[in-house]
């Protein structure tokens, strides 16, 4: 363990003094849901109190999804953890690399890699907790150019002055550069302020690249631009008030989606806003509803603004030697001109020892304009149901885990779409390797 920590320290180019005791107690804080761990939990809380580096209401780090979104407290944390000076540091990453093949006349195939790495640092400040995060993605280099990777029916953003369709855009190099400050208001209420030159407003569920229920599936959710595409907004300010179970947030942000130059910050005025109510009634459950007004999100349609409504439920069930994470999402877009369309998603990730079985079913609606179909009416709406099923076999290499996986998808097209794809049910798939940190498992320390 010590050697691998040293390794990562070198990788980061930083000198890191890992204090074993602090390391282990913080491991617990991420997993403080098991009854068996209860005794350790109390130890940990007092240890964290000493450093003053804790959420004001004592919420565990496992509650934190992407941006300021909540996930169930029982969600396992996959990360490497260190203490440097008084800072608590976490390193998260996910790398998938492989060969993707999407069938039909609108499909394509290529080698590709989806990936991100995130460094988080926390420190006590003025009686509260300061968190800063930097998340980077190499996708502009690795997904195969500005048009990203082939993914049937996917839409959103553009390249070369043309809207992308049947392809998933690469994520920007700066996926998130953000700071967050949590401060107690009363014994049961706290304030959260989040500011990000690149980050996620309070809109939608935990974004799919960070959702445990989506973590084994390299394919982007097709509801992305109906549910969580605002996760990279270049300019976000969020203010929230929360108790241990409820959080109400408001955001002001730049609603324009990133442009095709993926290495810069695409600043625009903070002309969009959103509100979200999150509710964690149980250790294993997290719910949210949110509304957003996105001013001129698409570069190619600057006169169209979008109202977005989302609702989601995430259920996480820790298992003996595994974990089962599931999410249901509904997302609805109401453009200022044109037809409103909806999306619904159900996905699940079931892990037991080294085996992961995952799946996703999505109902999607697309206009002929979304898919750039050669028809007279740009606002005709087409439906599809897409099913994805996959498996990953993991091999642990010290604190990191490498997995070999495959996913297959079946796209059930409505009659109107079939002529454009030359098939009723075009198929797709990907074989891949996945690299991610091992879970910070409970009971992995001697205590
Ligand atoms: Cu995205």
Mean pLDDT by 10 residues, the chain (447 residues): 40 34 40 39 38 81 95 96 91 97 97 97 94 97 93 95 95 97 97 98 97 97 97 97 98 95 92 98 98 96 97 97 97 96 98 96 97 91 98 94 98 95 97 94 37
**229 CA to middle of ligand 1, Å?**
5
User: What is d(CA 104, CA 427) in angstroms, rounded to the nearest whole number?
Assistant: 8
**436 CA to middle of ligand 1, Å?**
19
Instruction: Report if residue 445 sits inside a domain.
Output: no
In this prediction, residue 156 carries a pLDDT of 94
**100 CA to middle of ligand 1, Å?**
18
- The residue with tokens 């999402």 is 329
**224 CA to middle of ligand 1, Å?**
7
Instruction: Report if residue 169 sits inside a domain.
Output: yes
In this prediction, residue 2 carries a pLDDT of 41
**257 CA to middle of ligand 1, Å?**
10
The backbone torsions φ and ψ at residue 9, rounded to the nearest 5 degrees and listed phi first, read: -55, -45
- The token pair that represents 1 in the structure block: 């363990």
**37 CA to middle of ligand 1, Å?**
36
**147 CA to middle of ligand 1, Å?**
14
In this prediction, residue 378 carries a pLDDT of 87
**295 CA to middle of ligand 1, Å?**
18
Instruction: Report if residue 313 sits inside a domain.
Output: yes
Instruction: Report if residue 87 sits inside a domain.
Output: yes
Instruction: Report if residue 104 sits inside a domain.
Output: no
The model's pTM is 0.87
**55 CA to middle of ligand 1, Å?**
28
Instruction: Report if residue 176 sits inside a domain.
Output: yes
**232 CA to middle of ligand 1, Å?**
7
**4 CA to middle of ligand 1, Å?**
31
**398 CA to middle of ligand 1, Å?**
30
Sign of CA dihedral 102, 208, 116, 431: negative
**190 CA to middle of ligand 1, Å?**
29
**447 CA to middle of ligand 1, Å?**
39
Cα three-residue angle 286-223-327, rounded to 5 degrees: 25
**70 CA to middle of ligand 1, Å?**
18
**258 CA to middle of ligand 1, Å?**
10
- The token pair that represents 75 in the structure block: 């969600």
**231 CA to middle of ligand 1, Å?**
6
Instruction: Report if residue 83 sits inside a domain.
Output: yes
**375 CA to middle of ligand 1, Å?**
28
Best CA proximity match to 280, nearest among 28, 27, 26, 33: 33
**236 CA to middle of ligand 1, Å?**
16
**168 CA to middle of ligand 1, Å?**
9
**225 CA to middle of ligand 1, Å?**
8
User: What is d(CA 442, CA 185) in angstroms, rounded to the nearest whole number?
Assistant: 32
**240 CA to middle of ligand 1, Å?**
23
* Number of domains making up the chain: 1
Containing structural domain, residue 378: 47-91+114-351+359-384+419-424
Instruction: Report if residue 144 sits inside a domain.
Output: yes
In a 10 Å sphere around its CB, with 0-12 CB exposed, 13-18 middle and 19+ buried, how is residue 398 labelled? exposed
**172 CA to middle of ligand 1, Å?**
9
Cβ(322)–Cβ(340) under 8 Å? no
**136 CA to middle of ligand 1, Å?**
13
């Amino acid at each position: 363990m010590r050697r691998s920590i040293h390794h990562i320290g070198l990788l980061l180019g930083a000198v890191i003094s890992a204090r074993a005791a602090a390391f282990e107690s913080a491991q617990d804080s991420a997993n403080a849901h098991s009854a068996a761990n209860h005794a350790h939990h109390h130890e940990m809380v007092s240890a964290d109190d000493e450093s003053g580096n804790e959420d004001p209401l004592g919420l565990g780090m496992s509650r934190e999804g992407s941006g300021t979104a909540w996930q169930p407290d029982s969600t396992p944390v996959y990360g490497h953890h260190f203490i440097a000076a008084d800072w608590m540091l976490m390193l998260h990453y996910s790398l998938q690399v492989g060969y993707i093949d999407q069938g039909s006349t609108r499909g394509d195939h290529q080698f590709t890699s989806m990936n991100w790495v995130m460094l988080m640092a926390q420190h006590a400040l003025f009686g509260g907790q300061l968190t800063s995060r930097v998340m980077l993605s190499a996708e502009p280099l690795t997904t195969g150019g500005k048009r990203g990777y082939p993914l049937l029916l996917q839409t959103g953003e553009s390249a070369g002055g043309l809207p992308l369709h049947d392809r998933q855009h690469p994520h920007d190099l700066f996926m998130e550069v953000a700071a967050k400050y949590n401060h107690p208001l009363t014994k049961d209420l706290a304030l959260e302020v989040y500011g990000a030159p690149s980050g996620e407003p309070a809109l939608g569920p935990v974004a799919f690249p960070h959702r445990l229920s989506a973590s084994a599936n390299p394919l982007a959710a097709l509801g992305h631009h109906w549910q969580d595409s605002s996760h990279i907004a270049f300019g976000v300010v969020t203010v929230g008030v929360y108790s241990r179970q409820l959080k109400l947030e408001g955001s002001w942000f730049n609603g324009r989606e990133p442009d095709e130059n993926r290495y810069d910050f695409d600043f625009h005025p903070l002309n969009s806003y959103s509100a979200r109510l999150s509710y964690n009634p149980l250790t294993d459950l997290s719910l949210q509803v949110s509304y957003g007004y996105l001013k001129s999100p698409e570069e190619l349609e600057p006169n169209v603004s979008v109202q977005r409504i989302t609702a989601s439920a995430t259920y996480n069930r820790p298992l003996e030697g595994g974990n089962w994470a599931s999410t249901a999402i509904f997302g609805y877009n109401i453009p200022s001109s044109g037809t409103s369309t909806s999306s619904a998603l159900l996905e699940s990730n079931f892990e037991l020892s080294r085996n992961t079985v995952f799946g996703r079913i999505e109902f999607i609606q697309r206009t002929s304009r979304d898919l750039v179909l050669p028809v007279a009416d740009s606002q005709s709406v087409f439906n599809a149901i897409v099913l994805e099923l996959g498996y990953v076999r993991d091999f642990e290499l010290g604190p990191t885990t490498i997995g070999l996986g495959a996913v297959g998808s079946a796209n059930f097209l409505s009659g109107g779409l079939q002529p454009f794809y030359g098939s009723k049910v075009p198929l797709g798939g990907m074989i891949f390797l996945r690299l991610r940190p091992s879970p910070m498992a409970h009971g992995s320390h001697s205590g």
